[in-house]
Amino acid sequence: MNHCTPYLRTVVEKVLGYDTRFIVAEHTVMPYTSQDPAELAKAADSLQQAVRAAGDRAREVAGSFVRA
């Protein structure tokens, strides 16, 4: 989806007025295109990093809300 990021950023930030942060996993097609263990390890590591980053960001956003 990296090819969509500039378009999404334009629509979400400039048209809708939201602040965005894109979290992207790299090498996501490796399990389907390569049997090289090193490449598969890169894909798994990238996915784990993206999942952690998404969780961290979700906690950060949730913590920014003021409770009444």
Task: Provide the residue ranges of all domains of the chain, joining segments of one domain with +.
Answer: 25-68
**Cβ atoms within 10 Å of 23's Cβ, excluding its own:** 13
Greatest Cα-to-Cα distance within the chain, rounded to the nearest angstrom: 53
Global pTM?
0.72
Confidence of residue 24 (pLDDT cuts 50, 70, 90): confident
By C-alpha distance, which of 49, 18, 51 is closest to 8?
A: 18
> Average model confidence (pLDDT) for the chain?
88
Q: pLDDT (tens digit, 9 = 90+) per residue, 32-61?
A: 888 899 989 999 999 999 999 999 999 998
Beta strands in 1-68 (DSSP E): none
Q: What is the DSSP string of 18-37?
A: --------S-TTHHHH---H
**CA 61 to the chain's CA centroid:** 15
